[in-house]
Amino acid sequence: MREARVAGTSQVDWMERAAIGASLACLVHCLALPLLIALLPVLSAILYVPEAFHLWVLGLAVPSAGFALWQGRSRHGARHPLIMGACGLVLLAAGALLLGETAWEAPVTTAGSVLLASAHIINWRLRHACC
């Protein structure tokens, strides 16, 4: 029984770390890339990020975040990280799917990334505090 619990914990930890890393990578992408392109116009001709990139990242974020936050809730019982994470995913989806190339895309996806990363950090802390 103890070995199964340890194996499950390490799998959830790995998924939580991957989700945090993906959230942070999204945040860096949303903040650094536009700034870099704005500061160095030459890069905009060289560096091309397809619009499908946002869909790929969203496709990675939804299942990994959902799994990690749901597993955390089943262990510590707190709902707020799951709710925060869901709100972050909704903001990310809105930025990627609805706002496209508008002025609101970067602020909405940035807020979603920060909210999702915060949810993962809180979830991680709660899981380790309770078990």
Predicted model pTM:
0.65
Question: In which domain, by residue range, is 30 found?
Answer: 2-130
pLDDT tens for each residue of 61-113? 899 899 889 988 988 889 999 999 999 999 989 988 888 778 888 888 888 88
Q: How many domains does the chain have?
A: 1
The per-residue DSSP string of the chain comes to: -HHHHHHHHHHHHHHHHHHHHHHHHHHHHHHHHHHHHHH-HHHHHH----THHHHHHHHHHHHHHHHHHHHHHHHH---HHHHHHHHHHHHHHIIIIISTTSTTHHHHHHHHHHHHHHHHHHHHHHHHHH-
pLDDT of res. 82:
93
**pLDDT band for position 117 (50/70/90)?**
confident
Q: Is the pLDDT of residue 8 over 60?
A: no
